[in-house]
A and B are shown apart, each in its own frame.
Chain A
Amino acid sequence: MAEQSREVLRAEHISKSFGQVTALKDISMHLNRGEVLGLLGDNGAGKSTLMKIFTGFHQPTSGKLFLNGREVTLKSVAHGRQMGVECVYQDLALVNEINVYRNMFLQREPTRGGFLGILNDRAMRKAASEHLGRIGVNIPSVDAEVSKLSGGQRQAIAVARSVYQKSDLLLLDEPTAAMGAKESAQILDVIQRLREQGDMAIIIIAHNYAQVFDVCDRVNLVEGGKIVFDKPTAETSVQELTDLVVNEYRMARASVHEA
């Protein structure tokens, strides 16, 4: 661990356009190992797009990205993973028709027979079952097809899948969106444990900032593709964030009325 660099992520002046739509404008941020950043913002603010730039799913239109102190141009998600970036997408990226343990290893399945790529189901089943037990995820069986699980269980599987890889940067896009309070608490518990271990940097996108506030070290607010607020949680409060969001909402309403 000693030789791992402290600064895991640095983004400098990142912009991203999809044709006419500018999703991100001049985003800069940095994150250290062991830190948890909460990324807040309205729907369409650009949070998911930013995540997908960090994973290598999208390439930025301009700007620089540094991972572990080195500048990188991520060519693909596979490349991003190689560089130690893991992500739980908002849409979970689980396949309903496939069972839990195969989903857990999707795209990095242990195989036999070289280029034939015969799946090693036994190894996957065992590793998945042990890993889920270790982080305390509760499902009927790793043989269950994902379509048979509840929203919360699916979310837990998706988080577990990302945590299984010893990554440097873990990105969670609305990890508690589909969950009840009890299930959310379980996921936040996993995040808190990872934070205490201090091996990775974590970014959590959340609508419900009150819920994630306690596990975050810092909070950023994204608005119209820009970071408009950046404070350590120690220097802010759920109240201040609420005021910000209410303010944003009032301005949005005012502009609707004007139009």
Chain B
Amino acid sequence: MNDQTSAGTASGQTRTGDKPARRPLSGAGIFFLRQREASILIAGILLVIYFQISSSAFLSGPNLGNLVQYSATTAIIAAGEVFVLVCGELDLSVGMVYALTPFVMFFAVSAGLPVWLAVILGLLAAAVVGLINGAVTTLLKVPSFVTTLGMLFLINGFTLTISGGFPVQPQAGAVFTGIFGANALALMAWAVVIALLFQFVLKKTRWGLHTVATGGNPHGAAEVGIKTKTIKTGNFVLCSVLGGLAGILDAFRIGSIDPLSGGTEIMFAAIASAVIGGTLLAGGVGTILGALLGALVLGILKDGFTLLGVSAYTFDMILGGAILVTMVINVRLTLLKERGGL
């Protein structure tokens, strides 16, 4: 009997219920995320219109350049932060890696190494920080909030020590400087290419899938044999390296390596971009493109308020409020998710 019924469906598709098959429910999930990305896009466009009406300088070339410069490096860091958040962790130290990496590059060049090698050395140093973050978090079982908070202070102190607290000038040829973000277009290209690349990695590769599984169901992921510690550590390394790259790009753009640049401000901006973009702090859900849009919205806000003559203090208050509201929504969504309603 059973054999007959199963033979009947063997070559066919999954049997559908008595009711007509509902369209793919995951479609709803994807739609939600798309919608999330779309709603940020719309918010961004509305803000642009508002600021353009308030100040005709908003859509001018130089101003857009400013905007891109602010958003691009934040978006690059946010891409790394999304991976860390999706696998269920948090990296607070990335802003300090952003400040440290160009110094490592600078000292390597001063020691007579070619620039390209110096860049690689800088990124390697960043990777080592990520590796330590990952090892302490996964092997010693210290919550990543604590691990990376400690690392934040450690790296900051280290950077200030090796630099003596003074900025220096990066040295490289014009071509190299051009590629590494001396102009806004190059910088935006870096951000967009990185966002597209890592969106693909997150959604279409084994690494991305295992990152989602590790954050979505840590225990279950381990039970099916996913090396969750490796996944987490790898994502800490990825986040650090992207933080380091962002630091190098900004060093060339600004033409100065400042030990006080980046830090907690750019780290918070990156996490805020990720969260505004639809990444859940609870892990398992995130999008890189959303984070890119989130970074753009933050950039538009910052830039627009500057044009309107809103003081930096007021801006911080508005920004803080906006982030709080987004976080509240985020937490509500997380609760929904835990109840299986999402």
Instruction: Name A residues whose Cβ lies closer than 8 Å to a Cβ of B.
Output: 57, 76-78, 81, 87, 89, 91-99, 102, 106-107, 109, 111, 116-119, 121, 129-130, 132-145, 147-148, 189, 193
**CB atoms of A141 and B24 under 8 A apart:** yes
Nearest residue, chain A, Cβ from B10: A134
Nearest residue, chain A, Cβ from B224: A107
**Complex: how many Å from CA A116 to CA B285?**
22
Interface residue? B112 (CB, 8 A) = no
**Complex: how many Å from CA A139 to CA B19?**
11
**Complex: how many Å from CA A197 to CA B6?**
14
Which residues of the partner chain A approach B29 to less than 8 Å between Cβ atoms? 97, 145, 147-148
Q: Lowest 9 A-B CB distances belong to which pairs?
A: A93-B220, A117-B206, A143-B24, A148-B25, A144-B25, A77-B225, A97-B216, A145-B26, A97-B284
**CB atoms of B9 and A136 under 8 A apart:** yes
**CB atoms of A133 and B15 under 8 A apart:** yes
Interface residue? B16 (CB, 8 A) = yes
Given contacts A92-B220, A106-B213, A144-B26, contact A133 B225 (CB under 8 A): no
Cβ-defined partner of A119 (8 Å) among B6, B14, B209, B340: B209
**Complex: how many Å from CA A98 to CA B283?**
12
Nearest CB on A from B223, distance (A): 4
Which residues of the partner chain A approach B12 to less than 8 Å between Cβ atoms? 133
Nearest residue, chain B, Cβ from A89: B223
Which residues of the partner chain B approach A129 to less than 8 Å between Cβ atoms? 13-14
**Complex: how many Å from CA A140 to CA B27?**
12
**Complex: how many Å from CA A144 to CA B22?**
10
Which residues of the partner chain B approach A57 to less than 8 Å between Cβ atoms? 223
**Chain B 203-222 residues near chain A, CB threshold 8 A:** 204-207, 209-210, 212-213, 215-217, 219-221
Interface residue? B329 (CB, 8 A) = no
| A interface footprint on B209-253 (CB within 8 Å = 1, 0 otherwise) | 110110111011101111000000000000000000000000000
Interface residue? B17 (CB, 8 A) = yes
**Complex: how many Å from CA A94 to CA B285?**
15
Nearest CB on B from A196, distance (A): 9
Which residues of the partner chain B approach A117 to less than 8 Å between Cβ atoms? 205-207
Which residues of the partner chain B approach A76 to less than 8 Å between Cβ atoms? 225
Which residues of the partner chain A approach B342 to less than 8 Å between Cβ atoms? 147
**Complex: how many Å from CA A93 to CA B5?**
29
